[in-house]
Amino acid sequence: MNHFCLEVRGDYACFTRPEMKAERVSYDFITPSAARAVFESILWKPEIRWRIERIEILAPVRWLSVRRNEVGSVISSRNVAAAMQSGKGHLGLYVEEDRQQRAGLFLRDVAYRLHARLVPVKGEALGNPIKYAEMFQRRATKGQCVNQPYLGCREFDARVRLVSSPDGEPEPQASIDGDFGWMLYDLDFSKPSDPRPMFFRSRVVRGVLDLTKVEVRS
């Protein structure tokens, strides 16, 4: 009851490599943290965690180069806090003065099958995990979600389908095979004020990334 599979498709995706500072360049396929976010978009509760165990790549890796306008700064959280305390403040961003044109290397026409385990961590979930599993099953079947699932960037929305049986489902792309180097696994929130990135060596075997035996490093 605590194992689930989702088929995720989208027209565009960008799972940004952290080593690329100025321009957005995507990994070749979805990261475990982005996959976890898809499950959390359907059901998120503080009593549970989602552990991604397997990623199947269903579509060939296709790239798209885009140049687009972005703003070069964000509103300071310190200014926001000061405005909340005083009841006034200058929090605006003027796009015409702060616009920057940046290139991006994105993925297009992506499709994945994501396998995850629902892990109870505290509270009621420890004594009654079936309740949360049934809740996810019901919400995923009806297409309900906490927020719109997306593929790396919020503007790249995802189409999600619950897979109840592997029979008749498309096979992974066997041509995608080999070592794809270090990839972001997730963030370590042991210290909420200072989350640390964790990485792993991504080795794909005939279109399948097995995450049950990977070695994670900070």
Give the count of domains, the chain: 1
- What's the pLDDT band for 158 if we cut at 50, 70, 90? very high
Domain membership flag for residue 161: yes
Domain membership flag for residue 63: yes
pLDDT the model gives residue 95 = 81
* Short-list 118, 160, 170, 119, CA closest to 140: 160
pLDDT in tens, 58-72: 999 999 999 888 887
pLDDT in tens, 162-211: 998 878 899 999 999 999 999 999 998 888 888 899 999 999 999 999 99
Domain membership flag for residue 111: yes
Q: In CATH, what number is assigned to the domain containing residue 21?
A: 3.30.70.2660
CB atoms < 10 A from the CB of 154, how many? 9
pLDDT the model gives residue 193 = 83
Domain membership flag for residue 42: yes
Which has more confidence, 31 or 99? 31
Domain membership flag for residue 92: no
Domain membership flag for residue 96: no
Domain membership flag for residue 62: yes
Tokens standing for 27? Answer: 């990994």
- What's the pLDDT band for 82 if we cut at 50, 70, 90? confident
Give the whole-angstrom CA distance, residue 218 versus residue 211.
Answer: 16
Instruction: Residue 35: give the domain boundaries.
Output: 3-69+103-210
Domain membership flag for residue 89: no
